[in-house]
Amino acid sequence: YRLACELSHKITAIAPVDGNIPALLFPECSPSRPVSVLAINNTDDPLVPFEGGYIYGIRKINLGKVLSANESIEFWVTRNRCSLTPVVSDEPDIDPKDGTRVTKKNYINGIEGTEVILYVVNGGGHTWPGGVQYLPAWVIGKTSRDFDANEVIWSFFKKHTR
């Protein structure tokens, strides 16, 4: 999110995965231009709380407080003056055995053609959708196999150029 806040004159879109706006950044964020946002958040992330709060690293070191995924998205929806009512779709459950379901919320019609999209990975952990299960699910949570984050992000970036 910091890139969008500080470099909006150079970039047109960002795509944070399992990242919410840091509480300390929020009051300082004043982009000079609108920036499209595609965020992917996992509801069962043991590191970055979907509902916001404190992030704790290794050895329970406090790494700071973050807004919730929804508050982070609402900031950009408001900033970009997108439609306040998203187009909501439940994505296909391509792998029913992965224990996740994906909901897509698309806030459209922002200024300068911007949009804000939130992929909510219900049941997903601190993982990259479509990526490898790099640690056991009991440690880091489940990896969604219902979409490939790489492909979704790349398509989003190709769509949002100046």
- Taking the chain (162 residues) in runs of 10, the rounded mean pLDDT of each run is 94 96 89 97 96 88 93 97 98 97 99 98 98 92 98 98 84
3-state helix, strand, coil in the chain (%, to 5): 25, 25, 50
pTM (two decimals): 0.95
- Sequence-ordered list of residues with C-beta below 8 angstroms from that of 52, at least 6 positions apart, any chain: 20, 65, 66, 67, 68, 69, 71
- Sequence-ordered list of residues with C-beta below 8 angstroms from that of 5, at least 6 positions apart, any chain: 25, 28, 29, 30, 31
Pairing of strands 101-107, 116-122: antiparallel
CA distance 76 to 5: 10
CA distance 119 to 39: 6
CA distance 143 to 126: 8
Distance of CA 137 to the CA centre of its chain: 20
pLDDT at 27: 85
pLDDT at 89: 98
CA distance 123 to 142: 7
